[in-house]
Amino acid sequence: MTYEELQQVTVDAQPRVFLQPLAAPSILGLYGLAGATFMVAAQMVHWFGSSYTTLLLVPFAAIFGGLAQFLSGMWAYKARDGVATAVHGMWGAFWIAFGILALMLGSGRVPAPGSTLFPALGYWFIVLAAITWVCTAAASAESGSLVTTLAFLAGGSTLSAIALLVGSDILLMIAGYLFIICAIVAWYTASALMLNEAYGRQVWPLGLGTRTRRAGTPTIGFGIGEPGVIRGQV
């Protein structure tokens, strides 16, 4: 092998980085979570509703809270954000499944419960609560705002599971209020991510996580959400 050929082999063997810039996926994911959670929770606490309201909520919950959030979870995967991947992927899938279940109940394919007692759905929330609590702990490394969002989401899921397993209207209503608070904080967090990225500086604070505090105050700039180069969204 000649010297020139050896040099070419060395150049070809060098690692190459291909940038794939992404906007912060959690902007879409958290807005989807906030919208679907608020609408369904408002019905849970009897702010509005009738016998056919659930069916009217199905398209909004399944597309806005389900499809949009699930897609944001897949984009969060490319941004190497494990917490966002788990939260948006899991809750996006849940809202899609919720829409399918509501359609099945509305069409009579599945017998509708006559009261709050609905153990089968209660077990759904056991799974959601278990995963969301772990995500809450992991989010403490990223931002205080995200921790608050997930804590209320996990708390609402826990109370929903208990309420549906024992048939408690009171507990289900309390869970609804926790979900409403979660939706408000999720809206704030998504808005902060969007504003901070748009202006290139901190406009609304997100609250520093343990990882951010160790690294110092983050700066907003080029490289945000570029898989393989910078991990995470902020």
Backbone angles phi, psi at 149, to 5 degrees: -55, -50
Number of domains in the chain: 1
Q: Residue 17 domain-assigned? A: no
Q: Residue 6 domain-assigned? A: no
Q: Residue 193 domain-assigned? A: yes
Domain that residue 145 falls in? 25-215
- Residue 150, pLDDT score: 98
Residue 137 CB partners (closer than 8 Å, separation 6+): none
Q: For 177-233, write each residue's pLDDT tens digit.
A: 999 999 999 999 999 999 998 998 899 999 976 665 555 544 444 455 555 556 667
Max CA separation in the chain (angstroms): 83
Q: Higher-confidence residue: 124 or 113? A: 124
Q: For 68-108, write each residue's pLDDT tens digit.
A: 999 999 999 988 899 999 999 999 999 999 999 988 887 77
Q: Residue 20 domain-assigned? A: no
Q: Residue 223 domain-assigned? A: no
Q: Which amino acid makes up residue 111?
A: P
Enter the pTM of the model.
Answer: 0.84
- Residue 104, pLDDT score: 87
* Pick from 155, 147, 184: nearest CA to 171: 155
pLDDT at 113 over 90: no
Q: What whole-number distance in Å separates Cα of residue 12 and Cα of residue 78? A: 25
Inter-helix orientation angle 82-107/119-139, to 10°:
160
Q: Residue 9 domain-assigned? A: no
Q: What is the mean pLDDT of residues 132-141?
A: 96
pLDDT at 59 over 60: yes
Q: Token pair for residue 192?
A: 């902060």
Q: For 26-55, write each residue's pLDDT tens digit.
A: 999 999 999 999 999 999 999 987 767 778
Q: What is the mean pLDDT of residues 164-169?
A: 96
| Residue 154's pLDDT band (cuts 50, 70, 90) | very high
Q: What is the mean pLDDT of residues 11-24?
A: 64
Q: Residue 13 domain-assigned? A: no
Q: What whole-number distance in Å separates Cα of residue 109 and Cα of residue 153? A: 30
User: What is the residue-wise DSSP string for 41-66?
Assistant: HHHHTTSS--TTHHHHHHHHIIIIII
Q: What whole-number distance in Å separates Cα of residue 17 and Cα of residue 208? A: 29
Q: Residue 230 domain-assigned? A: no
Q: Token pair for residue 216?
A: 């110092």
